[in-house]
Amino acid sequence: MQDWLTMTACDLGRGIGMGQIDPVELTEAYLSAIDAHPHRDRIYARVTHDRARAEAQAAKERANLGLRRSLLDGVPISWKDLFDTAGTATEAGSALLKGRVPEADAVVVRNATAMGAVCLGKTHMSELAFSGLGLNPITGTPPCVDDEEAVPGGSSSGAAASVAWGLAAGGIGSDTGGSVRIPSAWNNLVGLKTTAGRVSLEGTVPLCLRFDTVGPLARSVEDAAHMLALLEGGSPPDLRGGDLKGRRFANLQTVAQDDLREAPGQAFNEAIDRLTAAGAEIVPLEVPELKDAIVLSGILYTTEAYGLWRDVIEANPDAMYPEILARFRAGQNATGADYIAAWSKLKSCRAAWDAATSGFDAVLAPTAPILPPNLDRLMSDHDYYVTENLLALRNTRIGNLMGLAALTLPTGTPGCGLMMMGYPGSEEALLRLGSAAEAALA
């Protein structure tokens, strides 16, 4: 039974389907592991025991009748604390939303529940999702799986920790600038950033609506594919037959490999070697317009975030962690004209990206140029906080700014991920490539 806590979600689902795993016993194993874990309250904001047990019982009855709704019917997963759950507080890691209890599930929660997923509870996150570090002195900072003195990455920090520490078979998070991919990379998981607009945001606490996306943090590419199907209430892509032979990838040089620290750099180069050995053609690529896009993000993100949250924040600014408060307030400096001009310029940058990458199956880059920073130093050293936070999200933000689907895979080096960026709406093709790359990296 202990093995259940480390198995992939899909393997658990297959076990349920074959009658080898009882969904009720599986859920109880996870609930017991959560309640006994020393980091329980740093990972989970709230554990939904009653809901999980009721959903597991329903899954068991469906399995007994041969009426399972998906491969993951009866598999327990966690939800980032910005997805509305009926009757259970959803506070988005912020004291500003303390006591906020939705009356209905978010659309993605409703879809996943209809497909049979079991809700274990709500996981901690960066305050209002506005940090890539996962540091949250207000409600809780989960531990990184390889270094308990380091932050786990954010903003889907608890989602990653719940899976990495064996306290959920999969986690659902959100990604506005890297918030699924950074914690996935730093905790040796697979993370999928979906194309903006693909997965419903209804019932999800927003940060920047034009960049917000929903996606899974998982133990395998197969899990990520099936969890995407849960979110949409649809069918997962067929990952069989994926092959790297003859595939053409770009090795992104611009921005993504600046200030690349030793461990992530070495892990990335070794990953490139493995993909090449598996038959992939990998070509260096420069996209100079990316430099302009990265600069624009300062206006685009902070202006929208502050516009959405200004009234709530300024009614009680002392309730916020000062570093996060400062990030939001940076959005009050841009004019409406600045914001419109920035979006116009970004569209030009996207056109340049599309032209430069049109001959490739995907674009490769290190998921993060740094390893997880030290928690105590982040709390005491402002300059370190600013530097590490900006670097943490720099590479992943490329995918958001360019409007792409993106996937991070473990490289085998702790805390170091390989990012694959595909075209907008290309999740199925990207997951198939990712499955082949996963095999080459194993």
Provide the annotated active-site residues.
80, 155, 179
Side chain identity at 185, as an amino acid letter?
A
C-alpha distances (whole Å) from 178 to each of 19, 102, 433 are 38, 26, 20
Please state, in angstroms and rounded to a whole number, the distance separating the CA atoms of residues 406 and 426: 9
Report the alpha-carbon distance of residue 18 to residue 24 in Å, rounded: 15
Angle among Cα 320, 155, 422 to the nearest 5 degrees reads 145
Tokens representing 351?
């056109």
| CA–CA distances in Å: residue 133 to residues 96, 114, 193, 289, 386 | 20, 33, 17, 27, 10
Helix (H) and strand (E) counts in the chain: 15, 11
Q: In one letter, which amino acid is 270?
A: E
Q: How many Å is the Cα radius of gyration of the chain?
A: 20
Q: Sort strands 76-80 and 118-123 into parallel, antiparallel or unpaired.
A: parallel
Closest CA to 90 of 172, 191, 200, 194: 172
Asked if residues 286 and 435 have their Cβ atoms less than 8 Å apart, the reply is no
SS3 state of residue 421: strand
Sort 316 into a burial class: Cβ within 10 Å, 0-12 / 13-18 / 19+. exposed
Specify the DSSP element, H or E, that contains 110. helix 107-114
Q: What contacts 154, CB < 8 A, 6 or more positions away?
A: 125, 126, 129, 131, 132, 133, 134, 135, 136, 179, 182, 183
